[in-house]
Chains A and B, each alone.
Chain A
Amino acid sequence: MSGLILKNGYVYDPLNGIKGEKMDICIENGKIVEEVSDAKVIDCSGKVVMPGGVEIHSHLAGGKVNVGRMLRPEDHLKNVYPKTKLTRAANGYSTPSTFLTGYLYAKLGYTTAFTAALPPLMARHTHEELHDIPMLDKGALTLMGNNWFIMRYLKRGDVELAAAFVAWLLKAVKGYAIKVVNPGGGEAWGWGRDVRSLDDPVPHFDITPREIISGLVKVNEMLALPHSIHLHANNLGRVGNFATTLETMQVPNGTKPARERQVLQLTHAQFHSYGGDSWKNFASEAESIAKAVNSNENVIIDIGQVVFGDTTTMTADGPMEYYLSSLTGLKWANKNIELETSPGVTPFVYSKRSPVSAVQWAVGLELALHINDAWKVLLTTDHPNGAPFFKYPTIIAWLMSSKYREETMKEVHSAAQKNTTLATIDREYDFYEIATITRAGQAKSLGIQETKGHLGVGADADVAVYDINPEEIDPSRDYKLIEEKFARTSYTIKGGEIVVKDGEIVKVVQGKTLYIDARVDESLEREVMRDIDYYFKRFYSVNLANYPVQEVYLTNPTPVQIDATNVR
């Protein structure tokens, strides 16, 4: 593989503190290097150069996404791309086919993506779909907040056994991090119930959401996993849920992170920042949430921004999907998964004329603008829950232009003006901050910042070049141009190869699949295996031997070795 030199671009590389300096980026053998002799030169003058985008929370792949596809054939009559010599036939708007998912991310300049919720029993399915997503390095956040083993261990105070179980589970299902969704609520949904506060006991398990969260925080730091716990808090989407969210943020207080990162990522915070006490006075509490984030070292958020239009909501929060479908009357899919979780899916339309949608739209932007430190904000739409991921350029343009926000506000229900603070905010993001919330911050949160999310020597050669001249363009005024240019890169470079040129796929590549391979103390492992064996024999519907996912399902399997033998 010969080298590449990206010459003379304006480089934004927050992890290395580079703020739009004119630089050359040298690439050889898939890595960023100091210098390269035999190289193809790409003229990047007048263009923005950033590390490849990193997606931290997107429902990319797996059973739930595919249920979304089966539920909504109408979604696949939209966004249709015929087969070409290079690319497969592809379709789908809110639940794009696997191939299209890879192509679209690459066109946006993204090179790494983590799927938001892998149900362990269905892990093989998630990996089969990830296998068919080209262009990206991948990983899977693994659902654990309603797992019977974990709830039982934590109830008994056996944090070490819980840690040993988590280590076993991540390796068995080839998962990357601890994902917690509506802790306790997923199990309650096995009986058609939910938990509505941090201290609501889970039926039959006699443990509370608070105990599940604090227990898993402990486990995560004992194992020193690269990512923090990734929490979808209780009461998602409910009126007045901000109080639960504020309380949730306090749960890990006093915990020291085992690595240089947060101890809690509060995911799609937009859906958790609502005030009011009925849909009639539904209002934003983004400012209170932002204040709490500003003053809390342990917590970061990703936004979960809403963009107006039709989408498909999907989450492991089964009771929430039932509640939502009861409000809309639209079709509803549900899937309780034994001993583990209970996802659901239902379509939704965010309408500009709806006061609730208008407030939701404003809340996401308010969060991003009220939180002072861009490292504490990650750009997501919780694809496809707030909007499909390919709406990112629109959100970037909103963040960079208060004028664009004003223009949009004129088109939407007046609740966005009355019940939120968005209209009062002048702050505008610059390119450096955009690079932070779309790649550097993600990489840091995931603990992959050594090789991802930056352009320093030794990083993977994943690069995005956008046809934007920061000296000439005024994002505040030229927001339409920003929206357009961030939607298709001049070049996307993946592992040192040009995969997108002028917004078109020019090469299809297969990325790596990252998973955690954590080693724990042998006697602890033996003890936890006894429990696993016992439970599988009695309560699972598959044999233990058929549960773990073989490496053959992963593209370029890349285990992240963790030595946790000190846990005992």
Chain B
Amino acid sequence: MQRYTDVICSFCGTLCDDIEVVVEDNKIVDVKHACRIGTAKFLASNDYEHRLLKPMVRKNGKLVEVSLDEAIEEAARILKDATKPLLYGWSSTSCEAHSVGVELAEELGGVIDNTTTVCHGPSVLAIHDAGYISCTLGEVKNRADLIIYWGANPMHGHPRHLSRYSIFPRGYFRERGQQDRELIVIDVRKTDTAKIANKFIKVNYGEDYELISALRKVVNGGELREESVAGVPREEIIALAEKMKNAQFGVLFFGMGLTQSYGRHRNIDNAINLVRDLNAHTKFVIMAMRGHYNVTGFNEVLSWQAGFPYAVDFGRGYAWYNPGETTANDVLQRGECDAALIIASDPVSHFPRKSIEHLARIPFIAIDIHPTPTTQLADVVIPSAIAGIEVEGTAYRMDAVPLRLRKVKEPPEGVLSDVEILRRILARVRGEEALTAKAEVAK
């Protein structure tokens, strides 16, 4: 029996790093401190019945088990034969895998994009326009006396966000924890997070932008003439604006309720500027509630290697970035890509039908830890080890704090890490000798 402490949970962008895991006979038998979702992810790594274990290639319309070499060979062939392959997914694997992915995309002249495109893509666009006034989560824990969640429901999406960083913990300047802080939730419905808030403000669906603008008007000394804005009475808006101005350290966490509702990047642009306005009065910061545990890491790696955070097209031999043109759904819906590699993501479950129709028409490779609708539709399926449980690597928390993922158990026999799989594909794309001699499996 082996006990591991300080393990990092590779599920959501909260990236809790205080998990204890007990392993017996290469099975995780106990998980401490993690939330229910995180615990389930750790325990699910034992369940080989629901894991992908064998590489598969589609022959005569059916996926059949093949050797790893054959699967790698076929994957490389599909990518090499393509004019413009799409390399998509990435948010649930390590930065080391991202790095090889960028090199592969460059080698192929393909498009590389991650799930940012369907979550905080609008936030990224807003950052291009307005900036990003933020902090690390420990700053919130030590200083914040006013915490606002807008269009985010961490009780469900990031279960330990509230207890580790925002409302509950005791901090250096907030010795009494929750009693020293105030929680406000702004959303279209009374979520479970709203239920524990000091105040819940219900905003009309699709009218967040108007509410932000009204707040900015009051913060900047303007007079609000409307009786109510976005369903919120004037007095309540004025009171909220005053509360924000008078906080010692305020933070606005926002989720996909703000990025993916009417207004999208304009909402975020406006919210960032609200925070900027507030900085003339007090300390105020803003932070995106990033979902997948390493969605942030992909943005970081692609930015330092290719200059742009997502949706990069290497078709010209250099990085070209134009969200709306080079984003995964646009490339798919225009029928522009003629092959794809999907890794650590399940777009068939989540993308619009029109995108999936094109994906179904083209040959594509899926690399994942367990079967998904995407792997079922793929032409080549390669099983991979779970980063953060079965292999090490790097991941970036939602506030871009980078952590080293730990390995607590061995992957299933014959199953390689995403990094190793991608390296082998890259080598075969380049016509280099297969790397199989080095290690048939990571035993």
Give residues in A with beta carbon < 8 Å to B. Answer: 61, 63, 65-67, 69-73, 75-76, 80-83, 88-92, 95, 97-99, 121-122, 124-125, 128-129, 132, 148, 190-192, 204, 322, 325, 331-339, 342, 345-346, 538-543, 545-546, 550
Contact = CB atoms under 8 A, between A and B. Distances in A.
User: Would you list the 8 A-B pairs with minimal beta carbon distance, nearest first?
Assistant: A338-B138, A76-B307, A82-B317, A541-B138, A192-B283, A336-B135, A331-B131, A545-B6
Contact of B249 (A191, A339, A550): A191
A332 B130 CA distance: 7
Interface stretch (B49-57, B167-175, B201-209, B219-227): B167-175
A334 B106 contact: no
Interface string B323-365: 0000000000000000000000000000000000000000000
Contacts of B298: none
Contacts of A132: 99, 304-305
Contact of A73 (B8, B282, B321): B321
Contacts of B191: none
A329 to B, nearest CB: 10
Given A66-B300, A332-B276, A346-B131, A191 B305 contact: no
Given A99-B305, A546-B8, A128 B401 contact: no
Contacts of A66: 300, 303-304
B134 interface: yes
Contact of A80 (B5, B127, B249, B318): B318
B164 A70 contact: no
B139 A97 contact: no
Given A83-B318, A98-B305, 20 more contacts: A66-B303, A71-B127, A89-B317, A92-B307, A95-B307, A98-B304, A121-B136, A122-B400, A124-B402, A124-B403, A129-B304, A132-B99, A331-B129, A331-B131, A334-B132, A336-B285, A338-B142, A538-B170, A541-B164, A543-B6
Most buried by B among A124, A331, A333, A539: A331
B314 interface: yes
B396 interface: yes
B394 A541 contact: no
Given A91-B307, A334-B132, A539 B318 contact: no
Contacts of B143: 190-191
Interface string B133-170: 11111110111000000000000000000001100001
A543 B128 CA distance: 33
Nearest to B300: A66
A34 B277 CA distance: 65
B319 interface: yes
B179 interface: no
Contacts of A325: 131
A46 to B, nearest CB: 36
B421 interface: no
B95 interface: yes
B279 A192 contact: yes
A124 B129 CA distance: 28
Contact of A125 (B127, B314, B396): B396
A334 B17 contact: no
A378 to B, nearest CB: 26
Given A69-B307, A70-B303, A89 B319 contact: yes
Interface of B: 5-6, 8, 17-18, 95, 99, 103, 106, 124, 127-139, 141-143, 164-165, 170-173, 248-249, 276, 279, 282-285, 299-301, 303-309, 314, 316-319, 321, 394, 396, 400-404
Contacts of B285: 334, 336
Given A89-B306, A132-B304, A541-B137, A83 B6 contact: no
Contacts of B165: 541
A82 B319 CA distance: 8
A539 B138 contact: yes
A322 B128 contact: no
Contact of B300 (A90, A125, A148, A338): A125
Contacts of A540: 138
19 contacts: A63-B400, A66-B300, A69-B303, A69-B309, A72-B128, A76-B321, A81-B318, A82-B316, A89-B318, A132-B304, A132-B305, A322-B279, A325-B131, A335-B134, A336-B134, A339-B138, A345-B131, A346-B131, A539-B138
B429 to A, nearest CB: 14
A73 B317 CA distance: 18
A335 to B, nearest CB: 5
Contact of B403 (A71, A83, A334, A542): A542
A147 B317 CA distance: 44
Contacts of A333: 127, 131-134
A190 B321 contact: no
Contacts of B316: 82
B317 A83 contact: yes
Given A122-B402, A539-B172, A541-B165, A190 B106 contact: no
Contacts of A99: 305
A541 B141 contact: yes
A66 B124 CA distance: 13
A439 B422 CA distance: 41
B276 A539 contact: no
Contacts of B318: 80-83, 89-91
Nearest to A336: B135
Contacts of A129: 304
Contacts of A88: 103, 106, 305
Contacts of A345: 131
A70 B283 contact: no
A330 to B, nearest CB: 8
Contacts of A98: 304-305
Contact of B401 (A92, A339, A346, A542): A542
Contact of B130 (A191, A331, A336): A331
A124 B404 contact: yes
A531 B351 CA distance: 50
Nearest to A148: B172
Contacts of B142: 338-339, 539
Nearest to A331: B131
A98 B306 CA distance: 8
Identify which of A129, A192, A333 gathers the most chain B CB atoms within 10 Å of its CB: A192
